[in-house]
Chains A and B, each alone.
Chain A
Amino acid sequence: MEANQALNNDLICAIATPPGQGGVGIVRLSGKGAGEVAAQLCAKPLQSRTAVYTDFFDAQELLDNGLALWFPGPNSFTGEDVVELQGHGGPVIQHRILNALCQRGARLARPGEFSERAFMNGKLDLAQAEAVADLIASSSIAASKAALNTLKGAFSEMISAIALDIANMRVRVEAAIDFPEEDIEILQEAKVAEDIARTVTALEAILEQANQGRLINSGISVALIGQPNVGKSSLLNALAGEEAAIVTNIPGTTRDLLKIDLVIGGLPIRLVDTAGLRESSDEVEKIGIARAIAQAAEADLTLYVAAADTLEEGLASSELVGNIELIQESDSQPNNILLVVNKSDLGAMRNLPKDIASVSVSAKTGEGLDLLKKAIQESVGFGQENVPFAARQRHIQIIKDTLVKVNAAAQALTQNQGAEFVAEELYIAHQRLGEITGTVTPDDLLGKIFSEFCIGK
């Protein structure tokens, strides 16, 4: 047998079926120890090339049940040990299965990595190679785009800023190690400690924003907001497929928050209907409106609803623009807003603020509802392709690992373990983050050292 020729042979996992399709969902594992790790998850031994009916556990908790198929290498799709776990749960359950696998030493596959391994191990022919390479190239672009979409631009800036901070800390620590004889205080432990603390905060903020855990376990929250009578409650009913909210043609029908849980294409969503925004003297309604605004600020996504028949001639109405600005001001992620123009059966989309994405729907006829659902999914990177969502998860895993290492560096520093330990942890953190930003070489670092410090004899 030919030796494994792939870039890596460590254990990788991914969802192999497109999301949002009912029926069976497959999680695939490939690499060293696939059989063992899967057997742990199933709490029973697997049989080579035989479907075993089994439960899937995360620790003690039952996640799902289905079939486990074990294909020992080299006679498998990738040429490595491969296991397929076929369950019934939707994407949320599948992601929990992935999490459970990752906790046992697997990592999330990069886009195209299964095919890549298959090709490298002689399982795909030459004609397919190009396609695999293209997939990797395009999905690494898609990956950063997805990350951008999800976190709206701030992500890449934040990552670059963190990478720079880590580089600067390393400059000090490495310089202190390599140039102990200088008459300047290079290390300045207090400064490094401060930088580390700032980096930790920044990494935690990204993780917080990414809200990964909540997304996987309880989905995202979406607020319906807008002026009275535009059809917010009607949209909630239409999306939920049931008459959950009261709908009348009287403006100001909804007076308090109404929350319902639903699943759109496998993505769990908590949808919140709110009171229509208007100047009001009614105490109860005023409270309702305040809550509505607060809800918009809190939500992962705000659907600002307008009615097509009320859109004015000429410019966008000042009320529309004003309300959107109001919401953006009170929201820490002001860009997570989608303009929904309802009642498309009564008029066309026109005169909308230009810098906001919009969708046209009719709660009454159901027209455009699919597009709205898709837009909701995409707004959190949970698209039709599995790529962006998985990519986002990988990025988040990288950020988590980086955080662990930066914290370890902080510990080494405060416990006075020695500069070489601080340096080692920061090096690993930097390398890990470099998987997103590209690696930084020792010579780059030395260059920074010599430009920053007057060093040498």
Chain B
Amino acid sequence: MQYPEQFDVIVIGGGHAGTEAAAASARMGAKTLLLTQSIETLGQMSCNPAIGGIGKSHLVAEIDALDGVMAKATDQAGIHFRVLNSSKGPAVRATRAQADRTLYKNAVRDILEHQENLQIFQQSVVDLVVENDTVVGCETQMGLTFCAKTVVLTTGTFLGGKIHIGDQQQSGGRAGDPPSIALAERLRALPFRVGRLKTGTPPRIDGRSVDFSVLESQLGDDPRPVMSSMGKRSDHPQQISCHITYTNADTHQIITDNLDRSAMYSGAIEGVGPRYCPSIEDKVVRFADKSSHQIFIEPEGLNTTELYPNGISTSLPFDVQLQFVRSMQGFANAHISRPGYAIEYDYFDPRDLQHSLETKAIAGLFFAGQINGTTGYEEAGAQGLLAGINAARKCQDKTPWEPRRDEAYIGVLVDDLINLGTTEPYRMFTSRAEFRLRLREDNADQRLTPMGIDFGLVGHERRSYFEEKLRRVDEFRKQFKATCILPSSDLDQKLALNLRKETTLEEALRRPEINSQKISVALALTETDSNGDAHIDALAVKQLEIETKYAGYIKRQDEEILKIRRHEGMLLPATMDFAQLEGLSNELKQKLEHHKPDSLARAARIPGMTPAALSILLIHAKALAKNAAKASTL
């Protein structure tokens, strides 16, 4: 049967990419349908019950700046909040929260169910309907056809998903959920390059069987951060501690003795796993001289006794899992509630995508999330948001939004994927962002909210809060410029400046020993409101401080950005035969052949590139264009 109503956007998959995509397109006014296997698993965290962390929290802040779901849900569900890198500067500080799995799911579902223009339908999709290389809808398991102008595919680890525990294998999208086999087969018939990746998860442990008295405990931060810039501490549920234990010589011995039984080491897995998320087998083998590894024990929620031991993801058989878990401090009598496993799945080569996340081969079809070769909720959510925005914009006949590398981590993520592809599950790190000093959590709203307002993506509440914050920053900026501090005046003393001559408050802020907090105190600004949340004035002064301290670096980057923008406009024709270009090293030719950059800016990011090589590319591109022009006038 064909479903009677037509949609603008259909989103397939209700994971982290899918929920952001559906919510975003609906917020923009597009008539949206979210099709997912199970409404119960909307917003389900397949792995670690944590959101944020270095690089990832930056993505969350950007999703939040565009009024997305993830940060809001985290404030509803977070049971342990910390700021990582707090001893370093604001550009690399990152908020991280342990979330109660159930509360998180509930929060996501709550947001989606109250979202205007959004309908949810529980059903597995088995086919895409494609006409003239354009997607027009999809078909579900029970033979129902839905029609739409655009489709966003976000099926995560489910495509051809295969779970490995030791030498046992079974099909699955993640433990407890069926894989998408029919859809995977159908997609393999479309003109996309498909590969296999793998990831793993540790066994879960019943907290009642753990001896906490012998474990280090780790408290959340005080003052407690919030994830969303609109979040309040009062949104947070009860807070609890995490714990830490370590592997030891016995643990390592058990693992080494049983290596041949690990799915990864027996050769049963063909997919490539992430280098930064090694299984415990990998750690023990590759870093044999390290006698102990740190394991964070994270609670899965408030109303469950299950624990997530972060750092022992494994594909060893269950009996070995039990043995090595019990070898660790505090775990002598541990009961495993779910075995750890590795999962292999299909992903699509992201180089077959455009920067809007629309596929090159099939118009109207967008890919987002883990299927593009990434890993992580935040990476998935960010892509979902982008795909949702661009699907909606396509329906509105607007040009796609292609966030830039100097604008957003989302831009870095997408550009890295599309430019260079990936050979392992891609995770965000701040070191991937060459404009790291400007891409901060604290200014995500300044970078992106105006765009979100323009897209019709940002709700009224956030908009007015944002505009208020900007106004306050601006007022303080003017005030600081106009405030003259005289030697031995009241302010001089309060700030301990020891002035010899008159100076402005703006200049004083440039001094390394002066920070926003000292100024807030000296000016008797309200630092926190009645609920203990940071007051907008304190935030505004903090913003000024950060701007001031990074100013020199930001200015230098501005020049770099101008240059890159020029180079982005310099296109390399698709007909360019890199292998034939004289004057380039063979190594470079091969890399160019492999990546086929379409602009000079993209070529510049290929490893080993030099200015001379760029010049050669550009000259040949221009020569090709001239030749083509000549040919067409003949």
- Footprint of B on A, CB under 8 Å? 5-9, 110-113, 116, 119-120, 126, 129-130, 132-134, 136-138, 140, 174, 177-183, 415, 417-421, 423-424, 427, 434-436, 438-447, 450, 454-457
**In the assembled complex, B623 has its CB within 8 A of some CB on chain A:** yes
A55–B319 CA distance with the chains assembled, in angstroms: 88
Is B437 touching A424 in the complex (CB atoms < 8 A)? Answer: yes
Residue of A110, A126, A442, A455 with most partner-chain B CB within 10 A: A442
Contact between A456 and B611 (Cβ–Cβ < 8 Å)? no
- Contact status B622-A120, CB under 8 Å: yes
- In the complex, whether B431 has a CB less than 8 A from a CB of chain A is yes
B610-621 toward A: CB 8 Å interface, digit per residue (1/0)? 111011101110
Of B54, B583, B600, the residue contacting A140 (CB under 8 A) is B583
B609 at interface, CB cutoff 8 A: yes
- Once the chains are docked, how many angstroms separate the CA of A5 from the CA of B619? 10
Q: A137 to B608, Cβ gap below 8 A? A: no
Specify the chain B residue showing the minimal Cβ separation from A415.
Answer: B512
Question: Closest residue to A450 on the B side, CB-wise?
Answer: B275
Q: Are B277 and A457 in contact (CB under 8 A)?
A: yes
Give B residues with C-beta under 8 Å from A. 48, 54-55, 84-85, 88-89, 91-92, 246, 274-278, 283, 286-287, 290, 292-294, 296, 310-311, 313, 416, 420, 429-432, 434, 436-437, 512, 553, 563, 566-567, 570, 582-584, 588, 600, 604-612, 614-616, 618-620, 622-623, 626-627, 630
For A442, the closest partner residue in chain B by CB is B432
9 closest Cβ contacts across the A-B interface? A137-B583, A418-B89, A438-B608, A454-B287, A140-B612, A183-B294, A450-B275, A456-B276, A174-B431
| A446 and B429 form a contact (CB under 8 A) | yes
- Beta-carbon contact of B619 and A420 below 8 Å: no
Q: In the complex, how many angstroms separate the beta carbon of A335 from the nearest chain B beta carbon?
A: 26
11 pairs from A and B in contact (CB 8 Å cutoff): A7-B570, A110-B611, A133-B582, A136-B615, A136-B619, A177-B430, A178-B430, A183-B246, A417-B512, A438-B608, A441-B607
Contact of B55 with A129 in the complex, beta carbons under 8 Å: no
> What is the CA–CA distance of A423 and B435 in the complex, to the nearest angstrom?
12
Task: Specify which of B420, B610, B618 is in contact with A120 (CB 8 Å cutoff).
Answer: B618
Cβ B584 vs Cβ A439 within 8 A: no
Q: How distant is the Cα of A457 from the Cα of B277 in the complex, in angstroms?
A: 5
Between B436, B612, B620, the greatest number of chain A beta carbons within 10 A of the residue's beta carbon is seen for B612
Q: Contact check, A439 vs B609: say whether CB atoms are below 8 A apart.
A: yes
Is the pair B615, A7 in contact by a Cβ cutoff of 8 Å?
Answer: yes
With a cutoff of 8 Å between Cβ atoms, the chain A residues found around residue B570 in the complex are 5, 7
A133 pairs with B431, CB closer than 8 A: no
Q: Which chain B positions have C-beta within 8 A of A129?
A: 619-620, 622-623, 626
List the B side residues contacting A446 at CB < 8 Å.
275-276, 429, 431-432
**Closest CB in chain B relative to A111 CB, distance in Å:** 8
- Structural contact, B563 and A8, CB atoms closer than 8 A: yes
Name the A residues within 8 Å of B604 (CB-CB): 439
- Which single member of B84, B276, B311 contacts A450 (CB below 8 Å)? B276
Instruction: With CB as the reference atom, state the residue of chain A lying closest to B279.
Output: A456
Docked-complex contact B293 and A454, CB < 8 angstroms:
yes
Residues of A within 8 A of B610 (CB): 140, 434-436, 438-439
- Given A5-B570, A454-B286, are A112 and B431 also a contact pair (CB < 8 Å)? no
Cross-chain contact A113 with B615 (CB below 8 angstroms): yes
CA distance A446 to B276 in the complex (A): 9
* Distance, CA A456 to CA B427, complexed state (A): 11
CB-defined contacts of B566 to chain A, threshold 8 Å: 8-9
How far, in Å, is A432 (CB) from chain B's closest CB?
11
Q: Determine whether the beta carbon of A7 is less than 8 Å from that of B611.
A: yes
Closest A residue, CB atoms, query B582 = A137
Given known pairs A129-B619, A177-B54, the reply for A138 and B611 (CB within 8 Å) is no
Residues of A within 8 A of B431 (CB): 174, 177-178, 423, 442, 445-446
- Bound-state CA distance A129–B583 (Å) is 13
Are A439 and B607 interface neighbours, CB within 8 A? Answer: yes
Alpha-carbon distance between A438 and B436 when the two chains are bound, in angstroms: 22
Whether the Cβ atoms of B618 and A7 lie closer than 8 Å is: yes
What's the least CB distance linking A436 to chain B, in Å? 8
Query: How far, in whole Å, are A6 and B614 apart by their CA atoms in the complex?
Result: 11
CA of A417 to CA of B91, assembled, Å: 13
- Within 8 Å by CB of A439, from B246, B294, B608, lies B608
The residue of chain A having its C-beta at the shortest distance from the C-beta of B612 within the complex is: A140
Residue contact B278 to A456, C-beta cutoff 8 Å:
yes
Residues B611 and A435 in contact, CB atoms below 8 Å apart: yes
Could you say which residues of chain A place their CB within 8 Å of the CB of B607?
A: 438-441, 443-444
Q: Judging by beta carbons under 8 Å apart, are A116 and B287 in contact?
A: no
Determine the residue in chain A with the shortest Cβ distance to B610. A438
Q: Are A419 and B92 in contact (CB under 8 A)?
A: yes
Q: Are A441 and B92 in contact (CB under 8 A)?
A: no
Closest-by-CB residue of B relative to A137 is: B583
Hey, which chain A residues are within 8 Å of B311, CB to CB?
457
Q: Which residue of A lies closest to B274 (CB)?
A: A456
**In the complex, A402→B98 CA distance in Å?**
43
Given A133-B583, A174-B431, the answer on whether A126 and B627 have CB atoms closer than 8 Å is yes
Check A180 against B582 for contact (C-beta < 8 Å). Answer: no
In the assembled complex, the Cα of A455 lies from the Cα of B605 at a distance in Å of: 26
Q: In the complex, which residues of chain B have a beta carbon less than 8 angstroms from the beta carbon of A434?
A: 610
Query: A34 to nearest B CB, angstroms?
Result: 18
Docked complex Cα distance between A207 and B558 (Å) = 30
Q: Which of B246, B296, B432, B611 contacts A457 (CB 8 A)?
A: B296
* A113-B615, A140-B583 known; A177 vs B437 contact (CB < 8 Å): no
CB-defined contacts of B296 to chain A, threshold 8 Å: 181, 457
CB distance from B441 to the nearest CB of A (A): 13
CB distance from A132 to the nearest CB of B (A): 6
Give chain A residues whose Cβ lies under 8 Å from the Cβ of B612.
110-111, 136-137, 140
CA distance A99 to B627 in the complex (A): 40
Q: Name the distance in Å between B234's Cβ and chain A's nearest Cβ.
A: 28
B275: chain A residues within 8 A (beta carbon): 446-447, 450, 456
- B88 adjacent to A136 (CB under 8 Å): no
Which of A7, A8, A420, A441 touches B91 (beta carbons < 8 Å)?
Answer: A420
B82 to chain A: closest residue by CB: A181
Q: If the complex has contacts A113-B615, A441-B607, A457-B296, are A420 and B436 also in contact, measured as CB distance less than 8 A?
A: yes
- Cα distance A418–B429 in the bound complex, in angstroms: 18
A174 to B609, CA, bound (A): 22
**Quick check: B584 and A137 within 8 Å, CB to CB?**
yes
Residues of B contacting A443 in the complex (Cβ-Cβ under 8 angstroms): 416, 420, 432, 607
Across the interface, B619 reaches (CB within 8 A) one of A116, A418, A439, A457, namely A116
Docked complex Cα distance between A11 and B153 (Å): 48
The residue on B at minimum CB distance from A454 is B287
CB-nearest residue of chain B to A126: B626
Given A442-B432, A442-B434, 15 further pairs, Cβ under 8 A: A6-B618, A110-B615, A116-B618, A129-B622, A133-B615, A133-B619, A137-B583, A177-B85, A421-B553, A435-B610, A435-B611, A439-B606, A441-B605, A442-B431, A456-B274
Residue contact B54 to A427, C-beta cutoff 8 Å: no
Measured between beta carbons, the chain B residues less than 8 angstroms from A119 are 619, 622
Given contacts A116-B619, A137-B584, A178-B430, whether A420 and B608 have CB atoms under 8 Å apart is no
Chain B residue numbers with a CB within 8 Å of A134 are 582-583
Closest to B618 in A: A7
Q: Are B88 and A177 within 8 A (Cβ)? A: yes
Nearest B-chain residue to A143, judged by Cβ: B612
Q: How far is the CA of A244 from the CA of B420 in the complex (A)?
A: 67
A420 lies within 8 A of B582 (CB):
no
Question: Which residues does chain A contribute within 8 Å of B430, judged by CB atoms?
Answer: 177-178
CB neighbours of B274 from chain A (8 A): 456
Closest Cβ–Cβ distance, residue A420 to chain B (whole Å): 5
Contact between chains at B582 and A457 (CB < 8 Å): no
Q: Are B277 and A177 in contact (CB under 8 A)?
A: no
Indicate if the CB atoms of A420 and B622 lie closer than 8 Å: no
| Given A113-B615, A140-B583, A439-B610, residue A418 in contact with residue B293 (CB < 8 A) | no
In the docked arrangement, what's the CA distance between A441 and B595, Å? 14
Contact partner of B85 among A130, A138, A174, A180, CB < 8 A? A180
* B608-A455 in contact (CB<8A): no
Q: A110-B611, A126-B627, A177-B85 are in contact. Are A136 and B622 (CB under 8 A)?
A: no
